Structure 1
Amino acid sequence: MIDTQQTQQASSPLLGRRVLVTGASSGIGWATARVLASHGAQVALLARRAERLTELAQEIDSAGGHALALPADVTEFGQVQTAVDRATAEFGGVDVLVNSAGIMLPGLIAEADPADWDRMVSVNLMGSMYAARAVLPGMQERGQGHIINVSSNSGRVHQPSFAAYAATKHALGAFTTILRKEVYPSRLRVTLLEPGATESELSQHADQEVLGDLLAGMGDGNGMRLMTTDDVANAILWSLTAPPHVNVGEILYTPVDQRDW
């Protein structure tokens, strides 16, 4: 009997692609690493929680894939560069970067802890910028590469208590647009992914009452079926499998019940 995953990998345009995923210890990053590995990609897993990365790497390897755990803090450029160097040494390069590390710490502007703002800027914005900076020289030298920045529909719409979070996502959108304009002569592809309401560990960082009010404002009052992290990972998979001459510049990806965008 032919193993269906092996058959899927053999026919996948991702076979052998070398992918670095930030925020891989949970949520969208975790799901993305699993989905891309199942389609034949080699995946380097970057996040702070080493034990979670080891668990995921072992799962991928046991399924016939190839994963590398790279414990690192995306807010420290030196750690990110070291992780990219290790991935390059192990795989021979990085073809794809998926920036999915992120945190969400809501609070009214007049009451918020500025330290929470600093953390969101450091992770959501600077972490993505650092990772892009670290992989770009190798991608440009090879004349191929794809960077996907996972943003949020908060980069388009705005809700009370989410000012700083939305600001980081707007800034990430601007950075992504300028990045695409700078690197297209090297035939690199750049994608901004803006997921809507998704059930993931990200929401556990937020005050649940504030989060409940946010979700209520997004839907029609009759409840809303949230997307799963696998749903979002499949959007990333789709953008990566576009023809080489096609750049998927921006994806707004929401539950069908979400109406606030």
Structure 2
Amino acid sequence: MISTGASTVNIPSTIPPRGIPAWFWNQLRRSGGLSLFLDYDGTLAPLTAERDRAHPWPGIREALESLMNLGARLAIISGRRAHQIPTLLGLRPADIFGCHGAERLMPDGTRSSQEIPRWVEHLLNAAHREALELLPPEMVEMKAASVEVHLRSMPQDLRPLIPQLARSWEALVHRGLSFRHFNGGFELRAPGIHKGLAVERLLQETPNGHLVTLLGDDTTDEDAFETLGERGLSILVHPKGRRSIAQCHIKPPEELLDFLRQIHRELEGKMRKGVKMCAE
């Protein structure tokens, strides 16, 4: 059995309380702005085997665009490659972190990535080759800092091969790679790469007075929740709820859409109040 060995997050045994806490709305009304950090798959868009067709739930893109028009800062932190997000989302957020924070796509198209040591590249290439020896290429994805195996569309006759691949990858874990499960598969990842790195970078660049809100659905988002801590509101977006260190949880897509629309009403109200005060 492969040890997960990648996350130091101590996930509690309880599900976060349902609904947005009242303090959030009070703080939003007093804040100098809003920064939204969002996961993509499972948070803004349904999980699907056809990953290139994972478009947002109806109304989500429009709700996010309206918040951007009111001055909200929008950042996506995804396990996907960063360049895939604008096409799927139909928007160009202020920041996009892909591959769990290993790469960044800036608004002007500039790309940057975490430097991966040569020995880690060698191990990831070995993991990629081993996976392709057993599984069809459409199930295996090589990324900037990881190798992923997607199980959502896996034929039943191939499932007995997974323990064989796990045994093969276990040696690579012992040599320093991290093994992580995610919703719909598993991966080997470069050590030290996780979404918390992206959150920390974004927090350093967040304007003073902004209220930070972080939304995610998967266990890979727990590092981000932990990094944010009490510096903002962490929200688990999940249809049933699950154990998490997030501060609260909401169900997609209805409660997520309601949340975004309520934020719009609050920000719009603040803007109108400001215009009225200036006119007086």
Normalising by structure 2, we get a TM-score of 0.36
Higher helix share: 1
Q: In terms of Rg, which structure is larger?
A: 2
Taking structure 1 as the reference length, the TM-score comes to 0.38
Kindly indicate whether structure 1 or structure 2 has the higher relative contact order, using CA contacts under 8 Å at least 6 residues apart.
2
Q: As a proportion of its length, which structure holds more strand?
A: 2
